[in-house]
Chain A
Amino acid sequence: MRWRWLLIPIVVLPLGWLLFTGFSLDPRAVASPLIGQPAPAWTYTTLDGEELSSADLAGRPYVVNFWASWCAPCVEEHPVLSAAWDQHSDDLAMIGVLYSDSRDNAESFLDRYGRAGYPTVVDESGALAIDFGVVGPPETFFVDADGIVREKQTGPLTAESMDRHLASIGIGR
């Protein structure tokens, strides 16, 4: 009957580990199949009414940040994006994508929290969010100078995570 004690290491411990790790995961943090793949091509109009295309960014690393005025973590990461833009605007491009929101709400957000200086395009249909496999804002994609998606951040960026992600596309190293 001593074998019954083996049940604890064989069954209970792995089950406990599975539950512990499972419940501590962020269900929104879905691994993106885009990592290592060419970034989707797009052409959209900015909040300022100018047409902007991914082709305009060819040869430069760039950051694509999906945000919305109703998204509280977007407020949290806004200063991080602004600081990164201030520091690296000579070396990279940065694009905001308005996700499931109105232009008026976006303008109010920028009036309140500051205009970072980089453009935001308006994804009215949500097609660009689908092309990038976005689950919900904020989500940020880091694309290198060859147009390959290198990393993705789900949830708000911090100064540390921003530096780490920028390093993956050759910025700040």
Chain B
Amino acid sequence: MSRSLPAVAIGCLLALVALFALRPGSPPTDAQRADALAHELRCPDCAGLSVADSPTSAAQEMRRQIVELVAGGASNAEVRQHFVDRYGDWIRLAPSSPVAWLIPFAVLIAGVGALTAWLVRRPSPPAPTPPISADERRRLREEAEALDA
């Protein structure tokens, strides 16, 4: 019994950790949702910054509109669509299709596959010729002498 105690203790500990990790999280507040959405949208008049990270007046107005839309009960998709309707998909910092995230990995796998295929199919270097034996050396010398004679 005493020998199985550590295993039971570890099992209980792991179960507690799993329960803690899997507990249902509290829904995000409107402010948290607005902030997350502001990080997803591109500031229109700056280079590569999100609306959340930009101090320009356009970004400030977009943040105000996001807060207003969220407070008015708009879903995240509706808020994104509000700006996509005006700017197109360009306004989203992240691609709208999850498939787009897979493209770099697909290219990497294809590249590794092509390299592997090339290495496998590359002709192997010719085997080194074995050194000639003493008998062969003697025979060659005799043949050379016969030619010289």
Contacts and interface: CB of A to CB of B under 8 A. Distances in A.
Interface of A: 30-34, 100, 125-127, 129-136
Interface of B: 44-45, 56-58, 60-62, 64-65, 83-88, 90-91
Interface centre among A31, A32, A130, A136 (most CB of B within 10 A): A130
A49 to B, nearest CB: 22
A119 B84 CA distance: 29
B44 A31 contact: no
B56 A31 contact: no
Interface centre among B64, B65, B84, B86 (most CB of A within 10 A): B86
A132 B88 CA distance: 11
B84 A33 contact: yes
Nearest to B60: A126
14 contacts: A31-B88, A32-B88, A34-B86, A125-B57, A126-B60, A127-B61, A127-B65, A130-B58, A130-B65, A132-B86, A133-B86, A133-B91, A135-B45, A135-B87
- If over half of B's interface residues share one DSSP class (helix, strand or loop), that class is named, otherwise mixed; here it is helix
- If over half of A's interface residues share one DSSP class (helix, strand or loop), that class is named, otherwise mixed; here it is loop
Contacts of A34: 86
Contacts of B45: 100, 135-136
B34 to A, nearest CB: 16
